[in-house]
Amino acid sequence: MNIWQELNPHFLALAPMEGVTDLVFRQVVQQAAPPDLFFTEFTNVSSFASEKGRHNALERLEIAPTEGRAPGQTPIIAQIWGKNPAHFSELSSALASLGFQGLDINMGCPDRHVNKAGGGAAMILNPELALDCIKQVQAATSLPVSVKTRLGFSSVEEYATWLPLLLRQNLPALTVHLRTRKEMSKVPAHFELIPNLLELRDAIAPHTKLIINGDITDRAQAETLWQQHPAIDGFMIGRGIFADPFCFRNFHSRPRIKQSELVELFLFHLKLHDQRTAELAGRGSRYPFEPLKHFFKVYLNNFDGAADLRAQLMSCTTTDQLRQILSTQSFD
């Protein structure tokens, strides 16, 4: 039985996000309120295939002690991207030994640099190559192979031809972001198309888990959508984690999150950041400080003076400086 068969009938996943869902932040989410399933940041298959890039690729693919299939752990899926079928095969053959429960191919990232390199959503424009990459991965690994994609590249109507191609590839799961690459996140997700996607899935590949992504903010919203569309297997939360790091908590018994709890979670993040920095330094590598600033708004928001406090923290260059400033503040 693979991980997709073991998940609850209705499950929630944290979306793979570049510069966000690394080893450290996944542990923060695990501490706050874990999802049913984690995904890594996406790893470039050609980086792994090169002598120069392999070290960095392997660092991105490290998992935490809290991730796995044992009781109390959260399953973890490795997400990969690229356009070279041979490189897909090479990385895929190595992933099972790294402790992952599955492997997901990114065919939906809208980043222009990724698309210019032929990966992510650009795969929608090259279906023959996309299917070849899927087949190479499936042949190279014993792990279940899933795909994350979008409705289309330029127009919403493309889903009617693109998604059936994927559904015919014997995938255990397919995640669909309910926008096109052209739309990015500039328009609301096309929730009105959920019945159409379910109809396609049920007709072509009823065994494939259908996961919906795009504008899903928290468990409460997912529960409402499940009431409307009970045949959806899972929902994936992405940017919603920035508005509420406790978004996976059971909303029926969820008290109001106090600002002091968010600051406590922030301090936990800083502790993990320091641990990762020391760990990588011991290997001659580094864990940069600057990306940490992207998370300030996760923990310090929606209270009087929050913007001024974040601005003050932006001038910091060490976690000790951050702690010092936070220690001078009072939070309810």
Active site residues: 109
Joined tokens for residue 15:
């979306």
Q: What DSSP assignment string belongs to 59-104? A: HHT---TTBSSSTT-B-EEEEEE-S-HHHHHHHHHHHGGGT-SEEE
Look at the block and give the residue holding tokens 């998992």: 63
Alpha-carbon span 164 to 167, nearest angstrom: 5
Q: Look at residue 19 and give its three-state secondary structure.
A: coil
Joined tokens for residue 122:
């650009």
User: Which stretches of the chain are assigned E, i.e. beta strand?
Assistant: 11-14, 38-44, 76-81, 102-107, 145-152, 173-180, 209-213, 234-237
